[in-house]
């Protein structure tokens, strides 16, 4: 925990690089709000469609958080419960991708990630 | 390159310091260190109590248990998160009610919460997804007016704040994770519940240790960080 603030500052620096690099691309980047000190546990971008997401995911060996809306998991198939229509949740599950972000990423890796996304879209 | 090799790189950088901590613990077997750590962590966030458990999943489960949420109760949860944000409700025998998110923040939508509320709703599990925090003041007011327990799932949000208000400070109970993929990773995971309520803290400590006070008064578990 002694390195927590320093590591968070490094992730925030990487997030700023991502934000600037993706400005003109058809992707939704994390919302930047005045007064928000974001720990960037995840840096999640959203694509226009599932196919583009799949192409970038494979190119980067990146992960999806989360691929299935909670209410659509099979453990709830026979459950008696209420659920809103959850259209936005379905859209997010189909189009989000988590980019690598941690304090030990090198500058070369960040550039590689950015360039890979630019070429894959 | 893989996306999630932070743990190995961190370990290689800090290996000697971690081994010294391990050696100190094994030499003394001093479990009071854990209580001291809990007091320091609570103090760091201005909360009265911190109860450590094995995971944030345990923390969410026990937070609901300690507040008496159970069969017949409904709990509002997000439809977009890790499964624990909803399965903790099933674990206590209550029923999750799935709410939609705001697509620009991925956080639970107030409009959806208002649509899905009925008088059977006794709690909400609100997640700061991906570590980001949004303004929850309207949602908190909505819950307070209806006496809805506000469980703050800050598993991913340690270190985040909005206008100086830190994650982990706004819930009746607040939960953090120290799983290996989090910003602070325990050797074998870990989690905590934070609360300002003395009675809730006492129940949480009983639940994690076989339900024991002077006798075995509650159905409990054997869980530690």
CB B107 within 8 A of CB B130: no
Is B15 annotated in the active site? no
B74-96 mean pLDDT: 98
B196-214 mean pLDDT: 96
pLDDT digits (tens, 9 = 90+) for B10-61: 888 888 988 888 888 777 766 666 888 899 999 999 999 999 999 999 999 9
Residues of chain B with C-beta less than 8 angstroms from the C-beta of A100: 1, 3-4
pLDDT at B1 over 50: no
pLDDT at A2 over 90: no
Catalytic residue among B182, B202, B205, B214: B182
A99 contacts B131? CB cut-off 8 A: no
Q: Is A55 on the interface with B (CB under 8 A)?
A: no
B100 contacts A88? CB cut-off 8 A: yes
Chain A neighbours among B 155-194 (CB < 8 Å)?
156-164, 167, 182-184
From residue B84, alpha-carbon distances to B143, B172, B196, B210, B215 in Å are: 21, 18, 23, 22, 31
CA–CA separation, B153 vs B195, rounded Å? 13
Q: Is B12 on the interface with A (CB under 8 A)?
A: no
Domains, in order of start, for chain B? 6-208 (3.40.640.10)
Q: Is A88 on the interface with B (CB under 8 A)?
A: yes
ipTM score: 0.96
Domains, in order of start, for chain A? 4-120 (3.90.1150.10)
């Amino acid at each position: 925990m002694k390195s927590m603030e320093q590591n968070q500052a490094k992730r925030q620096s990487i997030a700023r690089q991502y934000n600037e690099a993706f400005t003109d691309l058809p992707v939704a980047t994390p919302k930047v709000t005045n007064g928000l000190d974001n720990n960037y546990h995840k840096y999640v971008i959203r694509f226009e469609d599932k196919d583009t997401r799949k192409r970038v995911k494979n190119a980067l060996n990146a992960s999806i958080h989360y691929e299935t809306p909670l209410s659509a998991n099979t453990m709830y198939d026979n459950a008696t419960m209420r659920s809103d229509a959850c259209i936005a949740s379905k859209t997010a599950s189909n189009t989000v991708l988590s980019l690598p972000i941690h304090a030990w990423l090198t500058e070369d890796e960040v550039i590689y990630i950015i360039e890979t996304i630019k070429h894959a879209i | 390159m893989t996306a999630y090799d932070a743990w190995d790189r961190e370990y290689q950088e800090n290996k000697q310091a971690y081994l010294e901590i391990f050696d100190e613990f094994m030499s003394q077997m001093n479990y009071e260190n854990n209580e001291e750590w809990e007091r320091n962590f609570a103090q760091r966030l201005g909360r009265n109590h911190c109860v450590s458990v094995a995971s944030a999943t345990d923390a969410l489960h026990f937070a609901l248990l300690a507040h008496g949420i159970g069969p017949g109760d409904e709990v509002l949860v997000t439809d977009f998160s890790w499964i624990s944000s909803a399965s903790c409700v099933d674990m206590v025998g209550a029923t999750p009610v799935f709410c939609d998110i705001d697509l620009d923040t991925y956080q639970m939508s107030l409009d959806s919460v208002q649509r899905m509320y009925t008088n059977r709703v006794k709690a909400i599990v609100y997640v700061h997804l991906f570590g980001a925090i949004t303004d929850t003041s309207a949602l908190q007011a909505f819950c307070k007016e209806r006496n809805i327990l506000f469980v703050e799932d800050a598993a991913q949000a340690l270190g985040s704040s909005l206008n100086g208000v830190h994650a982990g400070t706004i819930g009746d109970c607040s939960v953090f994770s120290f799983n290996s993929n989090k910003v602070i990773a325990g050797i074998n995971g870990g989690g905590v519940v934070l609360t300002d309520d003395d009675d809730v803290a006492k129940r949480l400590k009983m639940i994690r240790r076989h339900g024991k006070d002077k006798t075995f008064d509650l159905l409990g578990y054997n869980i530690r960080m």
